[in-house]
């Protein structure tokens, strides 16, 4: 019988991809297990959600202070998962806070010219990567040997290409890899929390609102608010608050929405109580931006087989964990 279960698990792993997103905040470890059939446009399903509280001081500003406590919380969260053979090969991704990450975008032509001394039409990765590392070193003010750098080349509407660079101190990556390993977990990826939250909300927006809707996506964390104006062609505008150019959160959101036309929706994820502490409760947003509000939740993606707790399904705090797992099942 055990052989039959193992065979069934192997078949499921081939036809369906499973991944876990791990969000470690100052308050808790949140875990989202997501799956998707390996076919074009296969739907994403949330299989399981878990939340294990952390004692105060275990994580401070993105730094893992008490690794033993975090590893214990990770073991507890994964220990609550049902025993399924197909989950033995879970791809696990963990988040990295915005406060620990530097992001920048530079024209591809500029990097090539800086490296070669003259412009070139296209550049092999072996020549471009040293230029990326040099740019990350310059922007972060940290020697490249102490940095962990991720980058990608993206096309623009004007036909030119730009390079998106994300860099963090290597110690932040190492602390996450080592803490996960202490809990018996092998990480396949480490991704920025704002990027994961945006990925989750854009997926929810596409499924629940439609691809033609224009909406504001906001993710709230202790360090502040990250906002994006999303349209049919992608992200049209973005901001981070607090910022010197904004006197208050109201001004920031009005600037994000723009003056041409109000967005169709506001999609909120993260700790929504922070809005009220900033003097702008959730129920005041529809009048401010002239559109309805919809909190992010995993519930629409929980199929009938999901064993996720009802309160966790509807919690906007799972945006990062869902977005991390989403990255892994979509690759």
Q: List, in sequence order, every residue forming a beta bridge with 215; answer none if it has no partner.
A: 230, 265
* Separation between Cα atoms, residue 147 and residue 278, nearest integer Å: 34
44: nearest Cα among 200, 270, 211: 200
What structural domains does the chain harbor? 16-99+171-195+301-330 (3.30.420.40), 101-168 (3.30.1490), 210-296 (3.30.420.40)
- In this prediction the pTM is 0.85
* Separation between Cα atoms, residue 226 and residue 175, nearest integer Å: 25
- Burial annotation 150-162 (CB, 10 A radius, 16+ → b, else e): bbeeeeeeeeeeb
Residue 9, CA distances (Å) to 6, 18, 39, 87 in order: 5, 12, 18, 8
- Helix axis angle, 108-116 to 125-140, nearest 10°: 100
What are 34's two structure tokens?
A: 């997501």
- Burial annotation 237-263 (CB, 10 A radius, 16+ → b, else e): eebebeeeebeebbebbebbbeeeeeb
220: nearest Cα among 291, 290, 276: 276
Element (H, E) at 49: strand 44-53
Rounding to the nearest 10 degrees, give the CA dihedral for residues 243, 248, 249, 250: -140
Segment 93-103, tens digit of pLDDT: 999 998 888 87
Residues 6+ apart with CB under 8 A from 186: 92, 180
- From the CB of residue 309, how many other CB atoms can be counted at a distance below 10 Å? 13
Q: What is the reported pLDDT for 116?
A: 57
Segment 251-282, tens digit of pLDDT: 999 999 988 788 999 999 999 999 998 889 99
* Separation between Cα atoms, residue 227 and residue 215, nearest integer Å: 11
Q: Sheet harboring 101-107: ordered strands across?
A: 101-107, 161-169, 147-155
DSSP 88-125: GG-EEEEEE-GGGEEEEEEEHHHHHHHHHSS--S---H
Q: What is the reported pLDDT for 121?
A: 45
- Burial annotation 190-225 (CB, 10 A radius, 16+ → b, else e): bbbbbbbbbbbbbbbbeeebeeebbbbbbbbbebbb
296: nearest Cα among 203, 195, 234: 203
Q: List, in sequence order, every residue forming a beta bridge with 167; answer none if it has no partner.
A: 102, 149
* Separation between Cα atoms, residue 197 and residue 188, nearest integer Å: 18
Per-residue pLDDT of the chain (331 residues; tens, 9 = 90+): 344 444 444 444 457 889 999 999 999 999 999 999 877 677 899 999 999 999 999 999 889 999 999 999 999 999 998 887 777 778 999 999 988 888 788 888 877 776 655 444 454 556 688 888 888 888 888 888 888 887 778 776 666 788 888 888 889 999 999 999 999 999 998 888 999 999 999 999 988 887 788 999 999 998 899 999 998 888 899 999 999 999 999 999 999 998 878 899 999 999 999 999 888 999 999 999 999 999 999 999 988 656 778 899 999 999 999 999 999 998 7
DSSP 265-302: EEEEEE-THHHHHTT--GGGHHHHHTS-EEE--SGGG-
Q: What is the reported pLDDT for 156?
A: 67
* Separation between Cα atoms, residue 132 and residue 138, nearest integer Å: 10
């Amino acid at each position: 019988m055990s052989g039959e279960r193992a065979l069934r698990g192997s078949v499921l792993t081939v036809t369906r991809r499973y991944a876990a997103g791990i969000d470690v905040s100052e308050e808790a470890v949140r875990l989202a297990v997501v799956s998707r059939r390996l076919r074009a446009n296969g739907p994403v399903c949330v299989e399981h959600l878990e939340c294990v509280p952390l004692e105060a001081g275990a994580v401070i500003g993105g730094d893992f202070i008490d690794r033993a406590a975090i590893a214990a919380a990770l073991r507890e969260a994964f220990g609550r998962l049902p025993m399924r053979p197909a989950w033995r090969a879970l791809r696990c991704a963990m988040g990295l806070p915005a406060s620990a990450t530097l992001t920048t975008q530079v024209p591809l032509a500029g990097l090539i010219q800086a490296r070669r001394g003259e412009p070139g039409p296209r550049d092999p990765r072996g020549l471009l990567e040293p230029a990326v590392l040099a740019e990350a070193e310059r922007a972060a003010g940290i020697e490249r040997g102490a940095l962990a750098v991720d980058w990608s080349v993206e096309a623009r509407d004007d036909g030119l290409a730009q390079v998106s660079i994300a860099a963090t101190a290597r110690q932040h990556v190492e602390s996450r890899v080592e803490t996960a390993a202490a809990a018996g977990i092998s990480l396949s990826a480490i991704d920025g929390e704002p990027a994961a939250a945006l990925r989750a909300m854009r997926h929810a927006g596409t499924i629940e609102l439609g691809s033609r809707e224009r909406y504001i996506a906001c993710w709230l964390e202790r360090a502040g608010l990250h906002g994006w104006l999303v349209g049919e062609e992608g992200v049209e505008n973005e901001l981070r608050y607090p910022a010197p150019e904004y006197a208050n959160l109201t001004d920031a959101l009005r600037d994000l929405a723009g003056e041409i036309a109000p967005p169709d929706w506001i999609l909120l994820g993260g700790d929504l109580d922070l809005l009220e502490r900033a003097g702008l409760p959730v129920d005041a947003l529809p009048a401010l931006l002239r559109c309805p509000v919809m909190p992010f939740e995993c519930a629409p993606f929980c199929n009938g087989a999901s064993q996720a707790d009802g309160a966790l399904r509807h919690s906007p705090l799972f945006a990062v964990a869902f977005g991390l797992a989403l990255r892994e099942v979509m690759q």
